Structure 1
């Protein structure tokens, strides 16, 4: 069993990574259904919370079925982060996570997210301020460093543990890499195997198959895996990894009926949580990923992203279910989507 403060997780938990514009409550719900052991909200600006920004406040919404769930905040000012932590605590999540890993320009170049990797002393002060301001378990998600010359994650892990964090998730890239190249887990393994480190260490980056999850678990000794991009349009990744770990065999890929059922639930929750217009518009980014692998699906996909009512969308989903009934989608590698591709490094 893995412990994060007073939170008990399975022996080797699978965590859904916080992803901006992706890991909202509807998406978290379908991932939870398929085996995610713990999840996080999209990251929330500390300044936005303090200003009572509507979008930031809305991201605080969590539901009982999600637990354990963490709320993630980001910022570059000690007082603002501490105040935001107090606001978060009122909403009663299971833990509070600090984002020191977001690489996008609008965050990192304003001294927050991965931008804090340029100043480890500041990172420690920010973390300490949050820990002191809340009774919630505080965790951190970060990267190896700012660039290849500043891969200081080993020092970061020790110092953040010393100021009171209860777990650390590490993405195996630097900020300048964004999502390019292959994630380097060797330093994640070194952090985990450092005798000074007593908190759980979760690895993140490029987990796109059950085989890789097992390989990295055994090779690096980490306490669990955080999965992000591989779950976009494929929440079944969690159950497939768990099944492979338990049996050594592959779980059957989702049937067309399962795919359609998940799309329907995701759509229904999206509309309920956001409203008809926003919920339907924001679902459009998901259809291509959910339906990937079906032949000649483009016509249906084009209709799904243009029609404007939930009833019409469900009618198209009915057509897809009938047309592809019994169709077995070949097991193909899960696509790791670069959901920050429109956000330049410089």
Structure 2
């Protein structure tokens, strides 16, 4: 299948294809991507994987590069600052099964930016161009780009970067509506995403603060973006993709999931995490997901303090099931919880 055909299939007319899962380090592993796709996400990009080949065979990197049984197309995100290392990393991921390679120029984390990777690359437009040209020419699959408005507020250079990306052969651009200086503070700005959409011909995916069906429609309408990308708001709330798709189709909001469905989704997610990571890592990685799923629920803080002390997967799943069963016995519902969850995710 040609590069254009792969991208064309991602941007067909179906509503689901407009809703993407953002790559989030430590979150968007194969179990999470699979779950989000089950709930209607049209595409998911992997966690970023370093281009440093000396770290490629570490346990963490091998988990991040595990695409076994994943719904196509498989998109692997790579991060680094050396064009040749990134090109080699792209070839490695294609050989590993990736059908799309995504370049990370958006991560604001200090440990990434200190290595002149992620959003720090936006300070050097010449290096941006060399990276894009080198990676695009290194592989026969589509290469996409995830980035931000710029490095510093008042010095946003996304319009030049976007044109450079298109000229380099980048097939789609995902744009977070903040600068690196913003980190995840302040409010995502959509005006420059709108401007980018006007000046380039490749698909644009809008990202940042999309945490409800109404916000999803608003961002699509305002920016005219080809798709939206959901990140933090889907943590502990994978049914958000179902809710957004339904709202975009009908203009109506779905009811919040019942407690019993939340319980079953979480227990299923835990089972996948345990199988994927094994006993030790599975138990520990699951803790943050359990915390996200239960945030805002009745007596959830007390429950989490107990849950954090559990050291094995069998007991962890058991205490989760017991907690939700107690909620069911006392007739607790989810309808008043979703607003609190969103506010907590986006303070």
TM-score (norm 2): 0.91
* Alpha-carbon separation, structure 2, partners of 1:335 and 1:62: 33
More helix by share: 2
Q: 1:260: Cα distance to partner?
A: 1.1
State how many pairs are aligned: 335
Mapping for residues 10-159 of structure 1, pairs under 5 Å: 10-11=12-13, 12=15, 13-48=18-53, 52-159=57-164
* Alpha-carbon separation, structure 1, partners of 2:323 and 2:123: 50
Mapping for residues 274-285 of structure 1, pairs under 5 Å: 274-285=277-288
Q: Does 1:212 align with 2:215?
A: yes
Does the aligned pair in 1 maintain the 2:282–2:313 contact within 8 Å? no
* Alpha-carbon separation, structure 2, partners of 1:120 and 1:36: 32
* Alpha-carbon separation, structure 2, partners of 1:19 and 1:294: 24
Q: Does 1:286 align with 2:294?
A: no
Match of 1:316 among 302, 319, 332: 319
Deviates more, 1:18-27 or 1:318-327: 318-327
Secondary structure, aligned partner of 2:151: coil
TM-score (norm 1): 0.92
Does the aligned pair in 1 maintain the 2:255–2:335 contact within 8 Å? no
Aligned to 1:268: 271
Q: 1:49: Cα distance to partner?
A: 6.1
RCO higher in structure (CA 8 A, sep ≥6): 1
Does the aligned pair in 2 maintain the 1:259–1:291 contact within 8 Å? no
Secondary structure, aligned partner of 1:96: strand
Q: 1:306: Cα distance to partner?
A: 1.5
Does the aligned pair in 2 maintain the 1:116–1:122 contact within 8 Å? yes
Match of 1:181 among 181, 186, 211: 186
Aligned to 1:337: 345
* Alpha-carbon separation, structure 1, partners of 2:155 and 2:175: 15
Does the aligned pair in 2 maintain the 1:145–1:175 contact within 8 Å? yes
| Cα root mean square deviation, aligned | 1.9
Secondary structure, aligned partner of 1:66: coil
**Unaligned residue ranges in structure 2 (runs of 5+):** none
Q: 1:242: Cα distance to partner?
A: 0.7
Aligned to 1:307: 310
Deviation sequence 1:203-246 (CA, Å, 0-9, x none): 00000111111111111101000010101111111111111111
* Alpha-carbon separation, structure 2, partners of 1:118 and 1:274: 37
**Unaligned residue ranges in structure 1 (runs of 5+):** 342-346
Does the aligned pair in 2 maintain the 1:49–1:57 contact within 8 Å? no
Q: 1:263: Cα distance to partner?
A: 1.3
Q: 1:336: Cα distance to partner?
A: 5.9
Q: 1:294: Cα distance to partner?
A: 1.9
Q: 1:112: Cα distance to partner?
A: 0.8
